[in-house]
Chain A
Amino acid sequence: MSTPEKANVESVMRARRRRRKSCPFCSDKVKDIDYKDPKLLRRFITERGKIVPRRVSGVCARHQRMLSLAIKRSRHIGFLPFLATE
């Protein structure tokens, strides 16, 4: 028998545990990630220029591989920084 309050706490905890973000590229059915799209790619690098780990971004393994290649190409051609300069 759970009080309303306890039930509420449980549902919050369940919600948090379930908060396994779904891959944003999967939900958009993305087939390739364009290295010529710096605005998009910037969302997946930190302020310091590092690639955001997928446990943080929720990106799936397959799309993370594509993303990481796109970011590397984009850096090479000068669209994205390698590391933030201060």
Chain B
Amino acid sequence: MIRHEYETIYVTRPDLDEAQQARIDDKLKGIVENGGDLLIFEQWGKRKLAYPIRHVLQGSYQFLHYVAPAELPQELERNMNLEDTLIRYITVRLNENVDAEVARAEALAAVDLRASRLGLNAEDEDGESIGDDDTDDPHSEEG
């Protein structure tokens, strides 16, 4: 069976409690694990949105990287559409007709670069990501 490599980011409301977030995460991860191979699941935490989405200014970001048949992203999207606390998602097909183990090795190799581009692991200079004590900073735009 031909399977492709995908990534999906989904953004949930920032005010979900742990159990609500876990229910959504488990459900979506389960769909991927059932129909394909989940390579990576990451929680990026709360981030400032560049513009308000459904009246919220922050989103809680999750990331799935997987190998699956072409129907799976549609099933995932159907399920994401059912969650009214899930405010945004995007799925991108990264590579066609891949071998899961090759894709897994590449996926693992890409973790650090992604984290640094997103400013995940850091008291990183400019506030793409935010902590719990968000001081209302005037959105500093440099360069």
| Contact assessment for B143 and A81 in the assembled complex, using a CB-CB cutoff below 8 Å | no
| Contact assessment for B51 and A77 in the assembled complex, using a CB-CB cutoff below 8 Å | no
User: Is B109 an interface residue when CB atoms closer than 8 A count as contact?
Assistant: no
| Contact assessment for A39 and B117 in the assembled complex, using a CB-CB cutoff below 8 Å | yes
| Contact assessment for B92 and A47 in the assembled complex, using a CB-CB cutoff below 8 Å | no
| Contact assessment for B50 and A73 in the assembled complex, using a CB-CB cutoff below 8 Å | no
Of chain B, the residue at the smallest CB distance from A78 is B49
Per DSSP, chain B at the interface is: strand
Q: A68: shortest Cβ distance to chain B, in Å?
A: 15
User: Is A27 an interface residue when CB atoms closer than 8 A count as contact?
Assistant: no
Please report the number of residue pairs spanning A and B whose Cβ atoms sit closer than 8 angstroms: 46
Tell which of A9-17, A18-26, A30-38, A58-66 binds the partner.
A30-38
User: Is A50 an interface residue when CB atoms closer than 8 A count as contact?
Assistant: no
Interface centre among B50, B114, B143 (most CB of A within 10 A): B50
Residue count of chain A within 8 Å CB distance of chain B:
20
User: Is B118 an interface residue when CB atoms closer than 8 A count as contact?
Assistant: yes
| Contact assessment for A77 and B88 in the assembled complex, using a CB-CB cutoff below 8 Å | yes
User: Is B111 an interface residue when CB atoms closer than 8 A count as contact?
Assistant: no
User: Is A85 an interface residue when CB atoms closer than 8 A count as contact?
Assistant: yes
**Per-residue interface assignment for chain A, residues 34 to 48, with 1 indicating a CB less than 8 Å from any chain B CB and 0 otherwise:** 111111101100010
| Contact assessment for A34 and B117 in the assembled complex, using a CB-CB cutoff below 8 Å | yes
Of chain B, the residue at the smallest CB distance from A42 is B143
| Contact assessment for B88 and A73 in the assembled complex, using a CB-CB cutoff below 8 Å | no
Within 8 A of A (CB), among B89-132: 89-90, 92, 114, 117-119, 126, 128
User: Is B136 an interface residue when CB atoms closer than 8 A count as contact?
Assistant: no
User: Is B39 an interface residue when CB atoms closer than 8 A count as contact?
Assistant: no
User: Is A80 an interface residue when CB atoms closer than 8 A count as contact?
Assistant: yes
| Contact assessment for A75 and B50 in the assembled complex, using a CB-CB cutoff below 8 Å | yes
How far, in whole Å, are A65 and B92 apart by their CA atoms in the complex?
16
Of chain A, the residue at the smallest CB distance from B49 is A78
| 12 sample A-B contacts, Cβ–Cβ < 8 Å, listed by A number | A36-B117, A38-B118, A38-B128, A39-B128, A75-B50, A77-B9, A77-B88, A77-B89, A78-B50, A78-B53, A80-B50, A82-B51
Known: A78-B47, A79-B50. 5 other contacts (CB 8 A): A36-B114, A37-B118, A77-B90, A78-B11, A81-B50
